[in-house]
Amino acid sequence: QFDLTQPASVSESPGQSITISCTGTSSDVGAYNYVSWYQQHPGKAPQLIIYDVTNRPSGVSDRFTGSKSDNTASLTISGLRAEDEADYYCSSYATGDTVIFGGGTKLTVL
């Protein structure tokens, strides 16, 4: 069981867009603009792709966008490519100086 709720899997065709949700509470996602998203390919360490809800680190494609509404954050990937197939995790800073993760979403590019 994880503190943030994500769909276990999503799938879409190349070139299309997809949105992954991440639902928390008023003590984490809803309380702070400190949601981050990570991409993890099999056998690799996660990589930061979105931080502070909407910001992209240098070098991350602008096909990745983040947003938030109330207690739910979202990651949208546009123009899907085969290399986007990976696991995606959301994370949030939470009350009490803690960090929490979602259970992860497996993205399949059909």
Partner 1 sequence: QLQLQESGPGLVKPSETLSLTCTVSAGSVRNNNLFWGWIRQPPGKGLEWIGSISYTGSTYYNPTINSRVSISRDTSKNQFSLKLTSVTAADTAVYYCARHTAMTRTDYWGQGTLVTVSS
Residues that bind partner 1 (CB under 8 A): 2, 32, 34, 36, 38, 45-48, 51-52, 57, 89, 91, 93, 96-104
Whichever of 75 and 93 has its CB closer to partner 1, that residue is 93
Residue 18: CB minimum distance to partner 1, A? 19
Residue 55: CB minimum distance to partner 1, A? 9
CA distance 35 to 46: 15
Count of CB atoms within 10 A of residue 76's CB? 14
Whichever of 49 and 80 has its CB closer to partner 1, that residue is 49
Whichever of 99 and 110 has its CB closer to partner 1, that residue is 99
Q: H-type helices in 1-110, by residue range?
A: none
Whether 99 and 93 have beta carbons less than 8 Å apart is answered as: yes
Angle at 106 between CA 104 and CA 108, to 5 degrees: 160
Specify the 3-state DSSP secondary structure of 80: coil
| Cα 36 off chain centre by | 7
Residue 24: CB minimum distance to partner 1, A? 14
Residue 43: CB minimum distance to partner 1, A? 9
Whichever of 24 and 104 has its CB closer to partner 1, that residue is 104
